[in-house]
A and B are shown apart, each in its own frame.
Chain A
């Protein structure tokens, strides 16, 4: 041992492990939001680092919009199994059927409909805390988020009434019905996430790497052509998300930089085949990762509005 000094990734790691252990110690029924995306992949490794050799003391929770990339779902299920964790999945489709979520007329994206599904799952399993992979560098409204983000009984975030967060002393106290969202990666940047994936040799879904895919142009972005609708007895889940006649389909070499679902994820034209390639590409990138997210472009305050309503 030559130096008692941590580099930036080691610092971010020890901070995140400390946060995760606080959750395990302070909450009765925490859950970990795991989508299979790159940020939540880092969360899983941090959970292993925080809790091994014990089991990870919380189930994984995922909210499906019904528009997911199939590659992502396969990866999510396999990783949960490999880690011996319980995976709970709740879907927008079920919530619409049960009448707890109501699609706005004409709106294709189910991004906002994830909110009632998440809140429903929190109520169903009486979760008092949900760990998420959100980062402050993603978006302006996220930059003001706490590690321990208090939500009232309606799941709402009130940016003007946040608990001050001082030193590493996280106030985890709740009254019944209230809950907490906790973000161990708060201080991580997109580059930190990929450097960590490289350092830890973490597997990521193959859609992060370049591949051939049919895409169409909409709203200034290349959107993926959804899988064929095969069951005519059911309504097309991707209705509205398919290319229109005036939106010609093109086969491109693309990848995703950030994953929402197929309807709101812009594919970027790119030729990267390894994590090293991705790091090089991000280092040279001239737009932020959320530049390819249709859901954030709606208005200047799109994220702020969704977070106030209970979005993660």
Chain B
């Protein structure tokens, strides 16, 4: 594995496709051709080939880790893989394509900068292709790659590749989501255009898949425009021997958006009290400025009553604050979502109770049309709902900020995570009651 002295960026991507599209083979191929596989992994691969594969090495066995999966020949859960090249490090979420496992794709995609959607060159665009593109768009993934796989089985036909590209470009505008879209003709099984350029595609002038992953611009994927700091943990040393820290009262958390400077005026929500940043404290010393997604501890000029769940924000670009929310939701549990159901809702560092006030629509994944007022939302369904919460949330629209615009729903009693929600933009910005600085 290569090692380098200069700073290396981390790119998170996920792979999606339907069963037998060759996702696991593709990741195996990326690992293999980029020399990220070790001898003992290859040995284990050969051992299992002797048992199950009639002697042929099956790259999919590298990622299909659990015994249950190998027996059934399917991937049942999100698996994470790590690839390093001299240019970048990668975290790969291998997400299964089974229709019943859409929740896993949402899981893998939620933290990704980029999605690779696999398309079988023989089958072209199928329902799964539209579903995966929709989910990638829904989750606000900035970059998407359509890897048209098994090109060897269509005789490396440029016409077929263009036909598929056109079919995808037909529906992409409806999604209105991605910063950039790439189409790459590959054969994961044989390694064409995965790491090394293929001799079979002289008509293709673009980068190989790895090439693209190494160079796609991701520096601006974090929201740096509006300061958001969900208070995670109040830091009060219980340590009277160190006099200097006797009155230390820090607010620990991770910036969910924007930047913050010492001396900057801030507001605490929901109280609306204002103060000024006195110190940005870290273990490695005080900072003059911090940015998302750094984890820091803020010290304010005034001793305000602040606890976990509160949000510290800048005085410009105010968020919404409301108990009446509208959101898109992906449902992840066998017990369907219905109007009137009650859940715990976790948003940032806050957990509140929420009741489903309305189920406004359900998205048909085939044509992206909305069905109005459906009776319920079943597992893997995606729809728009209204929620009423026991306490107001301080939030942004998901398109503006993936961290302050997202929430999960938790079933009361079983504590299962049952839904992933993306908030629609607030109808109005917060209007704090208190305008004076704290005394």
Contact = CB atoms under 8 A, between A and B. Distances in A.
Contact of B65 (A5, A51, A140, A279): A140
B120 interface: no
B237 A54 contact: yes
A17 B67 CA distance: 33
Given A165-B107, A174-B415, A8 B77 contact: no
Contacts of B417: 163-166, 171
Contacts of B106: 164, 166
Interface string B95-124: 000000001101100110000000000000
Contacts of B55: none
Contacts of B10: 7-8, 11-12
Contacts of B238: 54-55
Nearest to A45: B283
B104 to A, nearest CB: 7
Interface in B212-270: 219, 222, 224, 232-233, 235-239, 242, 245, 248, 250, 252-254, 259
Interface in A274-307: 279-280, 282-283, 285-288, 290-291, 300-301, 304
B107 A49 contact: no
B435 interface: no
Given A4-B224, A53-B242, A173-B415, A166 B420 contact: yes
Contacts of A301: 66-67
Contact of A291 (B38, B63, B79): B38
Nearest to A171: B417
B161 interface: no
Given A144-B77, A285-B38, A189 B252 contact: no
A288 B40 contact: yes
A287 B39 CA distance: 5
Nearest to A161: B416
| Residue in B40, B254, B282, B295 whose Cβ sees the most chain A Cβ within 10 Å | B295
Contact of B349 (A25, A51, A136): A25
Contact of B76 (A160, A171, A285, A287): A160
Interface string B266-285: 00000000000000011110
A285 B41 CA distance: 12
| Residue in A10, A137, A143, A174 whose Cβ sees the most chain B Cβ within 10 Å | A143
B232 A6 contact: no
Given A54-B239, A187-B91, A286 B39 contact: yes
Nearest to B78: A144
A50 B65 contact: no
Interface in A115-157: 136-137, 140-141, 143-144
Contacts of A173: 344, 410, 415
Given A282-B1, A301-B67, A53 B239 contact: yes
Contacts of B219: 3, 5
A169 B111 CA distance: 11
A285 B222 CA distance: 35
A175 interface: yes
Interface in A157-192: 159-160, 162-169, 171, 173-175, 186-187, 189, 191
A81 B81 CA distance: 36
A164 B331 CA distance: 11
A197 interface: no
Contact of A286 (B38, B66, B104, B410): B38
B414 to A, nearest CB: 8
A55 B239 contact: yes
A4 B259 contact: yes
A171 B346 contact: yes
Interface stretch (B146-154, B164-172, B400-408): B400-408
B403 A164 contact: no
A287 B232 contact: no
Interface in B1-24: 1-3, 7-10
Contacts of B81: 137, 143
Contacts of B233: 21, 24-25
A14 interface: yes
Contacts of A236: none
Given A52-B283, A159-B66, A283 B1 contact: yes
Interface in B350-386: none
A143 B82 CA distance: 10
A124 B186 CA distance: 56
B272 to A, nearest CB: 23
Given A159-B66, A286-B39, A136 B80 contact: yes
Nearest to B40: A291
Given A166-B420, A286-B39, A53 B294 contact: no
B308 interface: yes
A189 B295 contact: no
A235 to B, nearest CB: 35
B84 interface: yes
A1 interface: yes
B415 A144 contact: no
A162 B248 CA distance: 39
Given A51-B235, A166-B408, A8 B8 contact: yes
| Residue in A5, A51, A136 whose Cβ sees the most chain B Cβ within 10 Å | A5
A18 interface: yes
A186 to B, nearest CB: 7
Contacts of A77: none
A247 interface: no
Contacts of A167: 110-111, 402-403, 406, 408, 420
Contacts of B295: 13-14, 17-18, 21, 49-50
Given A55-B239, A164-B417, A169-B408, 12 more contacts: A4-B222, A8-B7, A13-B295, A49-B282, A53-B250, A143-B81, A164-B420, A167-B406, A167-B408, A286-B39, A291-B38, A300-B70
Interface of A: 1, 3-8, 10-15, 17-18, 21-22, 24-25, 48-55, 136-137, 140-141, 143-144, 159-160, 162-169, 171, 173-175, 186-187, 189, 191, 195, 279-280, 282-283, 285-288, 290-291, 300-301, 304
8 contacts: A22-B349, A53-B239, A143-B79, A144-B79, A164-B107, A164-B417, A169-B408, A189-B82
Closest 8 CB pairs of A and B: A140-B65, A7-B7, A291-B40, A17-B295, A173-B415, A8-B10, A4-B291, A301-B67
